[in-house]
Structure 1
Amino acid sequence: MQKEIIVIIGGPGTGKTTIIGGLVAKGHCCYPEISREVTLEAKKQGIEQLFLEKPLLFSELLLEGRKKQFYNATKEPHEIVFIDRGIPDVLAYMHYIGDSYPATFDIACREHTYSKIFILPPWEEIYISDDERYENFEQAKLIYNHLTETYQNYGYNLIEVPKDTMDNRILFILDEISR
């Protein structure tokens, strides 16, 4: 069987991290979202909101981190690797804020392709803001739209995960993969 690198995407507060945690608990190989790491590292260096203050630098750091995750995933002994957000997420967020980015961002999306993309729809009932998630629910819906458009522009068929319990969402994802 060929290695499958599967990405779980969605706007903020849709349950991505919870699903990744559930997959890890079931013994699956998963890579976490790295934007919080980048944000926390910037805070240590005195930049309170790197994405807001220096969006291109933030995006470049994310892009490098996600490329590294992709490379590491290809080397995993596991047949399936799940990743919380993929490289095109970086471009979707740049589109969302209306900023331009270098051609290397587009090249990275074309050179690193994923097996399947699962997208989690906006879900107001579970949406929570926190110190690293500054978007409100309306902004989260706009980000979802940018994610959908960006991934589809790179030729991905997005598989929408129904709003349900974490366990049922994981079962849905695993069932889709086994098809």
Structure 2
Amino acid sequence: MDTRRIVITGGPGSGKTALVSYLEKEGYPVMHEISRDVILEAQKQGIEQLFLENPILFSEKLLEGRLKQFHEGEKCAAPILFYDRGMPDVTAYMDFVSAHYPENFCETCEKFRYHEIFVLPPWEEIYEQDNERYESFEQAEKIFHFLKSSYENYGYKIHEVPVGTIKERVQFILKKLGY
């Protein structure tokens, strides 16, 4: 039996990372978001906002890291594995900033497939900007729509997770997955 690969995605400040952390505390295996690591590494090299300054380089690093996570997921023996963002997030963000990107970005997203996609909508009450999250809430709303479109363009059916407590959101996801 293959492990089901489940993506949890959403715009900045949607509660995604808190939800994934909760799943992990409940004993589910997760692959954590890597964009903050890429951002912090660039800042150590003197590049304050790598995505804004060089979106292609930033996106290449993300896609490479997420592909690595995908391959690491092949070692997972659990019935489900959660990913904090998936590879189509990369093209969604590139589309959001109207940047052209290499064809291999799309080829990678088409070749390496996830089983289920859950997207969290923007949630203004919990939204906060910080050193790595520079988008406004209005931009977060637009990113949400680009994320949905990106996954749909790759042929995925999207499950939109309702706003609520972390526990309610996790229950929604697990019920959709048959747990």
Which TM-score bucket, shorter chain as reference?
A: over 0.9
Unaligned runs of 5+ in 2: none
Aligned to 2:72: 72
How many residue pairs get aligned? The number is 179
Which string of whole-angstrom CA distances, capped at 9 and with x for unpartnered residues, describes residues 56-113 of structure 1? 0000000000000111112112121100000000000000001000010010001110
After TM superposition, the structure 1 = structure 2 runs for residues 1-179 of structure 1, keeping only pairs within 5 Å, are 1-178=1-178
Provide the TM-score with structure 2 as the length reference: 0.98
Amino acid at match of 1:133: R
CA-CA distance at 1:39 after TM superposition: 0.3
CA-CA distance at 1:161 after TM superposition: 0.6
Percentage of matched positions with identical amino acids: 53
Amino acid at match of 1:143: I
For residues 147 and 12 of structure 2, what CA distance do their matches in structure 1 show?
11
Which string of whole-angstrom CA distances, capped at 9 and with x for unpartnered residues, describes residues 153-173 of structure 1? 011000011101001111111
**Cα root mean square deviation, aligned:** 0.9
SS at match of 1:178: coil
For residues 79 and 173 of structure 2, what CA distance do their matches in structure 1 show?
15
SS at match of 2:130: coil
Unaligned runs of 5+ in 1: none
CA-CA distance at 1:2 after TM superposition: 2.8
For residues 27 and 177 of structure 1, what CA distance do their matches in structure 2 show?
16
For residues 90 and 114 of structure 2, what CA distance do their matches in structure 1 show?
15
For residues 68 and 79 of structure 1, what CA distance do their matches in structure 2 show?
20
Provide the TM-score with structure 1 as the length reference: 0.98
